[in-house]
Structure 1
Amino acid sequence: MTTKPSSIDSLAEEQIVKYFQSKLAEHGPSAQGMDWRDEASRNLRFDVISRYLNQAGPFSLLDVGCGDAGYLDYLKKANCDVNYLGVDVVPEMAEFANQRHGEGTAVHGDVFTLPPESKFDYVIASGTLNAKLGVKSSVWRDHFYNTIAAMYERCNRAAIFNCMSADLDYRYRRLYYPNLSELGKFVTKKLSRNWVFDHSYPLYEMTVCIYKYPTP
Protein backbone atom coordinates (compact mmCIF):
# COMPACT_ATOMS: atom_id res chain seq x y z
CA MET A 1 0.00 0.00 0.00
CA THR A 2 1.35 3.44 -0.91
CA THR A 3 0.72 6.26 1.54
CA LYS A 4 -0.87 9.37 0.09
CA PRO A 5 0.41 12.74 1.33
CA SER A 6 -1.66 14.84 3.69
CA SER A 7 -4.65 16.41 1.94
CA ILE A 8 -4.52 19.76 3.76
CA ASP A 9 -2.57 22.56 2.13
CA SER A 10 0.06 24.77 3.72
CA LEU A 11 -2.44 27.51 4.60
CA ALA A 12 -4.70 25.06 6.42
CA GLU A 13 -1.74 23.56 8.26
CA GLU A 14 -0.55 27.06 9.20
CA GLN A 15 -3.99 27.75 10.70
CA ILE A 16 -3.75 24.61 12.82
CA VAL A 17 -0.19 25.38 13.90
CA LYS A 18 -1.10 28.93 14.95
CA TYR A 19 -4.13 27.69 16.89
CA PHE A 20 -2.08 25.27 18.96
CA GLN A 21 0.72 27.79 19.37
CA SER A 22 -1.83 30.15 20.94
CA LYS A 23 -3.04 27.42 23.30
CA LEU A 24 0.52 26.61 24.29
CA ALA A 25 1.34 30.30 24.86
CA GLU A 26 -1.76 30.73 27.03
CA HIS A 27 -1.50 27.59 29.16
CA GLY A 28 2.06 26.31 28.77
CA PRO A 29 2.93 22.60 28.43
CA SER A 30 -0.17 21.23 30.15
CA ALA A 31 -3.35 19.39 29.22
CA GLN A 32 -5.02 22.74 28.48
CA GLY A 33 -1.97 23.81 26.47
CA MET A 34 -2.59 20.76 24.27
CA ASP A 35 -6.25 21.87 23.92
CA TRP A 36 -7.63 19.24 26.30
CA ARG A 37 -10.30 20.19 28.83
CA ASP A 38 -8.22 18.94 31.75
CA GLU A 39 -5.66 16.36 32.83
CA ALA A 40 -8.31 13.83 33.86
CA SER A 41 -9.96 13.71 30.43
CA ARG A 42 -6.58 13.47 28.70
CA ASN A 43 -5.56 10.58 30.94
CA LEU A 44 -8.88 8.82 30.35
CA ARG A 45 -8.09 8.82 26.63
CA PHE A 46 -4.63 7.46 27.42
CA ASP A 47 -6.24 4.73 29.54
CA VAL A 48 -8.37 3.60 26.61
CA ILE A 49 -5.52 3.67 24.09
CA SER A 50 -3.39 1.63 26.47
CA ARG A 51 -5.96 -1.18 26.54
CA TYR A 52 -4.68 -2.17 23.11
CA LEU A 53 -0.94 -2.20 23.85
CA ASN A 54 0.81 -5.44 24.73
CA GLN A 55 2.90 -4.13 27.62
CA ALA A 56 4.33 -7.49 28.69
CA GLY A 57 7.64 -6.75 26.96
CA PRO A 58 9.50 -3.95 25.19
CA PHE A 59 7.76 -2.19 22.32
CA SER A 60 8.23 0.81 20.06
CA LEU A 61 5.61 3.52 19.63
CA LEU A 62 5.07 6.52 17.36
CA ASP A 63 2.86 9.26 18.81
CA VAL A 64 1.36 11.31 15.96
CA GLY A 65 0.54 14.82 17.14
CA CYS A 66 2.44 14.15 20.35
CA GLY A 67 2.16 17.61 21.89
CA ASP A 68 4.42 17.79 24.94
CA ALA A 69 4.78 13.97 24.95
CA GLY A 70 2.24 13.60 27.73
CA TYR A 71 1.63 10.00 26.68
CA LEU A 72 5.28 9.21 27.35
CA ASP A 73 4.78 10.48 30.92
CA TYR A 74 1.81 8.16 31.18
CA LEU A 75 3.77 5.15 29.87
CA LYS A 76 6.69 5.84 32.20
CA LYS A 77 4.36 5.92 35.20
CA ALA A 78 3.08 2.51 34.07
CA ASN A 79 6.71 1.27 33.96
CA CYS A 80 6.46 0.42 30.27
CA ASP A 81 9.62 -0.55 28.41
CA VAL A 82 8.92 1.68 25.42
CA ASN A 83 11.04 3.09 22.62
CA TYR A 84 9.04 6.27 22.00
CA LEU A 85 9.08 8.83 19.21
CA GLY A 86 6.70 11.76 18.97
CA VAL A 87 6.00 13.85 15.90
CA ASP A 88 4.12 17.16 15.80
CA VAL A 89 3.48 19.84 13.17
CA VAL A 90 3.82 22.51 15.87
CA PRO A 91 7.58 23.04 16.34
CA GLU A 92 7.17 24.34 19.90
CA MET A 93 5.44 21.10 20.89
CA ALA A 94 8.39 19.00 19.74
CA GLU A 95 10.76 21.40 21.52
CA PHE A 96 8.86 21.07 24.81
CA ALA A 97 8.84 17.28 24.49
CA ASN A 98 12.61 17.24 23.97
CA GLN A 99 13.19 19.63 26.87
CA ARG A 100 11.14 17.44 29.20
CA HIS A 101 12.31 14.00 28.10
CA GLY A 102 15.60 14.49 26.30
CA GLU A 103 16.71 15.27 22.77
CA GLY A 104 15.33 12.85 20.19
CA THR A 105 12.04 12.30 22.02
CA ALA A 106 10.12 14.18 19.33
CA VAL A 107 10.60 15.67 15.89
CA HIS A 108 8.85 18.47 14.03
CA GLY A 109 6.71 17.11 11.20
CA ASP A 110 3.96 14.55 10.73
CA VAL A 111 3.44 10.90 9.88
CA PHE A 112 4.00 11.69 6.20
CA THR A 113 7.42 13.32 6.64
CA LEU A 114 9.17 10.49 8.47
CA PRO A 115 11.62 8.31 6.50
CA PRO A 116 9.79 5.55 4.57
CA GLU A 117 11.63 2.82 6.48
CA SER A 118 10.45 4.10 9.89
CA LYS A 119 8.31 1.37 11.48
CA PHE A 120 6.93 1.02 15.00
CA ASP A 121 5.05 -1.67 16.90
CA TYR A 122 2.27 0.81 17.64
CA VAL A 123 1.30 4.09 16.01
CA ILE A 124 -1.13 6.19 18.02
CA ALA A 125 -2.90 9.54 17.70
CA SER A 126 -4.86 11.11 20.56
CA GLY A 127 -6.90 14.15 19.58
CA THR A 128 -4.83 14.72 16.46
CA LEU A 129 -7.64 14.06 13.98
CA ASN A 130 -10.40 16.01 15.71
CA ALA A 131 -9.75 19.76 15.38
CA LYS A 132 -10.29 20.77 11.76
CA LEU A 133 -10.90 24.40 12.75
CA GLY A 134 -11.72 26.32 9.54
CA VAL A 135 -10.74 23.55 7.14
CA LYS A 136 -13.63 22.29 5.01
CA SER A 137 -15.04 18.97 6.23
CA SER A 138 -14.55 17.39 2.79
CA VAL A 139 -10.87 18.34 2.82
CA TRP A 140 -10.40 17.16 6.40
CA ARG A 141 -12.14 13.91 5.56
CA ASP A 142 -9.43 13.12 3.00
CA HIS A 143 -6.74 14.13 5.48
CA PHE A 144 -8.38 11.95 8.15
CA TYR A 145 -8.34 8.81 5.99
CA ASN A 146 -4.90 9.47 4.51
CA THR A 147 -3.48 9.87 8.01
CA ILE A 148 -5.07 6.64 9.24
CA ALA A 149 -3.66 4.77 6.24
CA ALA A 150 -0.19 6.23 6.86
CA MET A 151 -0.36 5.26 10.54
CA TYR A 152 -1.35 1.71 9.65
CA GLU A 153 1.42 1.45 7.08
CA ARG A 154 4.01 2.38 9.71
CA CYS A 155 2.79 -0.02 12.42
CA ASN A 156 3.87 -3.60 13.05
CA ARG A 157 1.15 -4.47 15.58
CA ALA A 158 -1.62 -1.86 15.60
CA ALA A 159 -2.64 1.68 14.76
CA ILE A 160 -4.77 3.32 17.45
CA PHE A 161 -6.54 6.68 17.40
CA ASN A 162 -9.53 8.46 18.86
CA CYS A 163 -12.11 10.51 16.99
CA MET A 164 -15.39 12.26 17.61
CA SER A 165 -18.65 10.32 17.80
CA ALA A 166 -21.03 11.19 14.98
CA ASP A 167 -24.10 10.12 16.98
CA LEU A 168 -24.71 13.50 18.63
CA ASP A 169 -27.54 16.01 18.60
CA TYR A 170 -25.11 18.93 18.69
CA ARG A 171 -21.80 19.32 16.88
CA TYR A 172 -19.04 21.90 17.12
CA ARG A 173 -18.15 23.39 13.75
CA ARG A 174 -14.42 23.38 14.50
CA LEU A 175 -14.38 19.59 15.07
CA TYR A 176 -14.53 16.72 12.59
CA TYR A 177 -17.12 13.96 13.06
CA PRO A 178 -16.43 10.93 10.84
CA ASN A 179 -19.25 8.77 9.52
CA LEU A 180 -19.04 5.55 11.53
CA SER A 181 -20.34 3.31 8.74
CA GLU A 182 -17.96 4.84 6.21
CA LEU A 183 -15.05 4.51 8.62
CA GLY A 184 -15.80 0.84 9.21
CA LYS A 185 -15.94 0.13 5.48
CA PHE A 186 -12.68 1.99 4.88
CA VAL A 187 -10.82 0.11 7.60
CA THR A 188 -12.15 -3.29 6.50
CA LYS A 189 -11.63 -2.84 2.76
CA LYS A 190 -8.40 -0.82 2.72
CA LEU A 191 -6.52 -1.83 5.86
CA SER A 192 -7.59 -4.81 7.97
CA ARG A 193 -10.61 -6.86 8.99
CA ASN A 194 -9.15 -7.04 12.51
CA TRP A 195 -10.30 -3.87 14.22
CA VAL A 196 -12.14 -2.55 17.30
CA PHE A 197 -14.40 0.49 17.68
CA ASP A 198 -14.41 1.28 21.41
CA HIS A 199 -17.31 3.49 22.48
CA SER A 200 -17.30 2.25 26.09
CA TYR A 201 -16.03 5.31 27.96
CA PRO A 202 -17.90 8.47 29.07
CA LEU A 203 -16.74 10.93 26.40
CA TYR A 204 -18.44 11.96 23.17
CA GLU A 205 -15.94 10.08 21.05
CA MET A 206 -14.56 6.62 20.34
CA THR A 207 -11.19 4.92 20.10
CA VAL A 208 -10.33 2.82 17.05
CA CYS A 209 -7.71 0.06 17.09
CA ILE A 210 -6.67 -1.48 13.77
CA TYR A 211 -4.57 -4.61 14.19
CA LYS A 212 -2.01 -5.97 11.79
CA TYR A 213 -3.10 -9.55 11.09
CA PRO A 214 -3.33 -11.86 12.91
CA THR A 215 -2.70 -10.53 16.46
CA PRO A 216 -1.13 -7.54 18.20
Structure 2
Amino acid sequence: MSDEELRRINELLFNAFTFSSNVWMFRNREKMIKYFCDLVIESDECTGVIVTDESGEHYRMNENVLKCRYLNYTPKVFSVVNAEHCECEDVDHKLLLSIPVSNKAAAYIFLKDANEETIQILKDMVTVLSRAIENLEITVEMDVMLSRLKANLEHFQYLSDRLRNPLSIILGVSELKDEIDTDKAFEMVKKSAEKIKIVLDSLSEAELKSKEMFEKLYYDNI
Protein backbone atom coordinates (compact mmCIF):
# COMPACT_ATOMS: atom_id res chain seq x y z
CA MET A 1 0.00 0.00 0.00
CA SER A 2 1.42 3.40 -1.01
CA ASP A 3 1.84 6.32 1.38
CA GLU A 4 -0.96 8.16 -0.42
CA GLU A 5 -3.37 5.24 0.00
CA LEU A 6 -2.42 4.97 3.65
CA ARG A 7 -3.07 8.68 4.14
CA ARG A 8 -6.52 8.42 2.58
CA ILE A 9 -7.46 5.43 4.72
CA ASN A 10 -6.27 7.19 7.88
CA GLU A 11 -8.34 10.26 7.04
CA LEU A 12 -11.40 8.10 6.36
CA LEU A 13 -10.83 6.21 9.61
CA PHE A 14 -10.68 9.50 11.49
CA ASN A 15 -13.97 10.63 9.92
CA ALA A 16 -15.52 7.26 10.68
CA PHE A 17 -14.45 7.54 14.32
CA THR A 18 -15.77 11.11 14.50
CA PHE A 19 -19.10 10.02 13.03
CA SER A 20 -19.42 6.98 15.30
CA SER A 21 -18.71 9.13 18.36
CA ASN A 22 -21.02 12.05 17.59
CA VAL A 23 -24.00 10.76 15.60
CA TRP A 24 -25.72 9.51 18.77
CA MET A 25 -26.08 13.07 20.04
CA PHE A 26 -28.49 14.05 17.25
CA ARG A 27 -32.22 13.92 17.99
CA ASN A 28 -33.29 14.22 14.36
CA ARG A 29 -32.79 11.52 11.71
CA GLU A 30 -32.44 14.11 8.93
CA LYS A 31 -29.52 15.74 10.76
CA MET A 32 -27.95 12.31 11.30
CA ILE A 33 -28.07 11.58 7.59
CA LYS A 34 -26.73 14.98 6.59
CA TYR A 35 -23.86 14.57 9.05
CA PHE A 36 -23.09 11.18 7.51
CA CYS A 37 -23.08 12.64 3.99
CA ASP A 38 -20.86 15.56 5.04
CA LEU A 39 -18.17 13.26 6.42
CA VAL A 40 -18.26 10.64 3.66
CA ILE A 41 -17.89 13.21 0.83
CA GLU A 42 -14.65 14.40 2.45
CA SER A 43 -12.98 11.20 1.28
CA ASP A 44 -10.77 11.80 -1.78
CA GLU A 45 -12.16 8.62 -3.31
CA CYS A 46 -15.81 9.64 -2.96
CA THR A 47 -17.44 11.50 -5.87
CA GLY A 48 -20.95 11.37 -4.50
CA VAL A 49 -23.03 10.09 -1.58
CA ILE A 50 -26.81 9.83 -1.59
CA VAL A 51 -29.13 8.61 1.16
CA THR A 52 -32.77 8.07 0.28
CA ASP A 53 -34.99 8.15 3.35
CA GLU A 54 -38.57 8.78 4.43
CA SER A 55 -37.46 12.28 5.42
CA GLY A 56 -36.32 12.95 1.84
CA GLU A 57 -33.31 12.48 -0.42
CA HIS A 58 -30.03 13.75 1.01
CA TYR A 59 -26.85 14.02 -1.00
CA ARG A 60 -23.42 15.56 -1.42
CA MET A 61 -21.84 15.35 -4.87
CA ASN A 62 -18.63 16.20 -6.69
CA GLU A 63 -20.17 14.82 -9.89
CA ASN A 64 -23.76 14.48 -11.09
CA VAL A 65 -24.91 10.95 -10.34
CA LEU A 66 -28.59 11.67 -9.69
CA LYS A 67 -29.54 9.92 -12.94
CA CYS A 68 -27.95 6.63 -11.89
CA ARG A 69 -30.52 3.91 -12.48
CA TYR A 70 -29.59 2.15 -9.24
CA LEU A 71 -31.14 5.00 -7.29
CA ASN A 72 -34.52 3.65 -8.41
CA TYR A 73 -34.03 0.48 -6.39
CA THR A 74 -33.84 0.06 -2.62
CA PRO A 75 -31.10 -2.51 -1.92
CA LYS A 76 -31.85 -5.49 0.28
CA VAL A 77 -28.18 -6.43 0.74
CA PHE A 78 -24.81 -4.70 0.48
CA SER A 79 -23.38 -4.71 -3.04
CA VAL A 80 -20.50 -3.22 -5.03
CA VAL A 81 -21.42 -2.24 -8.60
CA ASN A 82 -18.98 -1.43 -11.39
CA ALA A 83 -19.69 1.96 -13.00
CA GLU A 84 -19.99 0.36 -16.42
CA HIS A 85 -23.24 -1.24 -15.23
CA CYS A 86 -24.86 1.89 -13.76
CA GLU A 87 -25.12 3.65 -17.17
CA CYS A 88 -24.18 7.10 -15.85
CA GLU A 89 -22.74 9.42 -18.50
CA ASP A 90 -19.45 11.35 -18.21
CA VAL A 91 -18.68 10.25 -14.68
CA ASP A 92 -15.52 9.90 -12.63
CA HIS A 93 -16.56 7.03 -10.43
CA LYS A 94 -15.65 3.43 -11.06
CA LEU A 95 -17.60 1.85 -8.21
CA LEU A 96 -20.96 2.25 -6.52
CA LEU A 97 -21.58 0.95 -3.01
CA SER A 98 -25.27 0.19 -2.59
CA ILE A 99 -26.10 -0.35 1.09
CA PRO A 100 -29.44 -0.79 2.92
CA VAL A 101 -29.85 1.43 5.98
CA SER A 102 -33.34 0.33 7.03
CA ASN A 103 -36.60 -0.77 5.44
CA LYS A 104 -37.19 2.85 4.45
CA ALA A 105 -33.66 4.08 3.74
CA ALA A 106 -30.62 3.24 1.62
CA ALA A 107 -27.14 4.69 1.05
CA TYR A 108 -25.39 4.97 -2.31
CA ILE A 109 -21.68 5.86 -2.30
CA PHE A 110 -19.90 6.57 -5.59
CA LEU A 111 -16.12 6.02 -5.60
CA LYS A 112 -13.33 6.79 -8.07
CA ASP A 113 -11.68 3.62 -6.89
CA ALA A 114 -11.35 1.81 -3.59
CA ASN A 115 -9.52 -0.98 -1.84
CA GLU A 116 -11.12 -3.46 0.54
CA GLU A 117 -10.23 -1.38 3.60
CA THR A 118 -11.99 1.72 2.26
CA ILE A 119 -15.09 -0.24 1.31
CA GLN A 120 -15.26 -1.90 4.73
CA ILE A 121 -14.89 1.42 6.57
CA LEU A 122 -17.71 2.99 4.55
CA LYS A 123 -19.89 -0.08 5.07
CA ASP A 124 -19.26 0.14 8.83
CA MET A 125 -20.21 3.83 8.81
CA VAL A 126 -23.55 2.95 7.23
CA THR A 127 -24.07 0.28 9.89
CA VAL A 128 -23.49 2.90 12.60
CA LEU A 129 -25.97 5.24 10.86
CA SER A 130 -28.53 2.44 10.77
CA ARG A 131 -28.10 1.70 14.48
CA ALA A 132 -28.27 5.39 15.37
CA ILE A 133 -31.54 5.84 13.45
CA GLU A 134 -32.98 2.72 15.07
CA ASN A 135 -31.94 3.96 18.52
CA LEU A 136 -33.50 7.35 17.81
CA GLU A 137 -36.79 5.75 16.78
CA ILE A 138 -36.87 3.74 20.02
CA THR A 139 -36.04 6.85 22.07
CA VAL A 140 -38.81 8.87 20.40
CA GLU A 141 -41.30 6.05 20.94
CA MET A 142 -40.25 5.78 24.60
CA ASP A 143 -40.76 9.53 25.05
CA VAL A 144 -44.26 9.23 23.58
CA MET A 145 -45.06 6.27 25.83
CA LEU A 146 -43.78 8.06 28.94
CA SER A 147 -45.84 11.12 28.04
CA ARG A 148 -48.94 8.95 27.71
CA LEU A 149 -48.15 7.22 31.00
CA LYS A 150 -47.88 10.58 32.75
CA ALA A 151 -51.22 11.63 31.26
CA ASN A 152 -52.80 8.35 32.41
CA LEU A 153 -51.48 8.78 35.94
CA GLU A 154 -52.94 12.29 36.05
CA HIS A 155 -56.23 10.87 34.76
CA PHE A 156 -56.17 8.18 37.45
CA GLN A 157 -55.72 10.89 40.08
CA TYR A 158 -58.67 12.81 38.62
CA LEU A 159 -60.89 9.71 38.68
CA SER A 160 -59.78 8.92 42.23
CA ASP A 161 -60.94 12.37 43.30
CA ARG A 162 -64.26 11.78 41.57
CA LEU A 163 -64.82 8.65 43.69
CA ARG A 164 -64.55 10.54 46.95
CA ASN A 165 -67.87 12.41 46.68
CA PRO A 166 -70.20 9.42 46.04
CA LEU A 167 -68.33 7.39 48.66
CA SER A 168 -68.82 10.20 51.16
CA ILE A 169 -72.56 10.19 50.43
CA ILE A 170 -72.81 6.43 50.95
CA LEU A 171 -70.87 6.63 54.22
CA GLY A 172 -73.01 9.56 55.35
CA VAL A 173 -76.22 7.68 54.61
CA SER A 174 -74.98 4.62 56.50
CA GLU A 175 -74.21 6.77 59.54
CA LEU A 176 -77.66 8.42 59.39
CA LYS A 177 -79.62 5.23 58.70
CA ASP A 178 -81.87 5.80 61.71
CA GLU A 179 -82.51 9.47 60.93
CA ILE A 180 -83.26 9.39 57.18
CA ASP A 181 -86.16 8.05 55.13
CA THR A 182 -85.40 4.55 53.80
CA ASP A 183 -86.53 5.26 50.22
CA LYS A 184 -84.54 8.48 50.12
CA ALA A 185 -81.46 6.75 51.54
CA PHE A 186 -81.80 3.95 48.99
CA GLU A 187 -82.07 6.47 46.13
CA MET A 188 -78.99 8.37 47.34
CA VAL A 189 -76.96 5.16 47.64
CA LYS A 190 -78.11 4.00 44.20
CA LYS A 191 -77.10 7.26 42.49
CA SER A 192 -73.75 7.26 44.26
CA ALA A 193 -73.15 3.63 43.27
CA GLU A 194 -73.94 4.48 39.62
CA LYS A 195 -71.39 7.32 39.73
CA ILE A 196 -68.80 4.96 41.21
CA LYS A 197 -69.50 2.41 38.46
CA ILE A 198 -68.94 5.05 35.76
CA VAL A 199 -65.62 6.02 37.31
CA LEU A 200 -64.54 2.39 37.70
CA ASP A 201 -65.43 1.67 34.07
CA SER A 202 -63.29 4.62 33.03
CA LEU A 203 -60.44 3.35 35.19
CA SER A 204 -60.73 -0.10 33.64
CA GLU A 205 -60.64 1.37 30.13
CA ALA A 206 -57.57 3.48 30.99
CA GLU A 207 -55.86 0.43 32.51
CA LEU A 208 -56.50 -1.61 29.34
CA LYS A 209 -55.06 1.14 27.12
CA SER A 210 -51.96 1.40 29.33
CA LYS A 211 -51.48 -2.37 29.18
CA GLU A 212 -51.78 -2.38 25.37
CA MET A 213 -49.33 0.51 25.14
CA PHE A 214 -46.65 -1.23 27.20
CA GLU A 215 -47.17 -4.56 25.43
CA LYS A 216 -46.62 -2.82 22.09
CA LEU A 217 -43.47 -1.13 23.41
CA TYR A 218 -42.16 -4.45 24.75
CA TYR A 219 -42.83 -6.57 21.67
CA ASP A 220 -41.57 -3.89 19.27
CA ASN A 221 -38.19 -3.85 21.00
CA ILE A 222 -37.44 -7.49 21.85
Output the TM-score relative to the length of structure 2. Answer: 0.24
Q: Which has the higher helix share?
A: 2
Q: Which has the higher strand share?
A: 1
Output the TM-score relative to the length of structure 1. Answer: 0.24
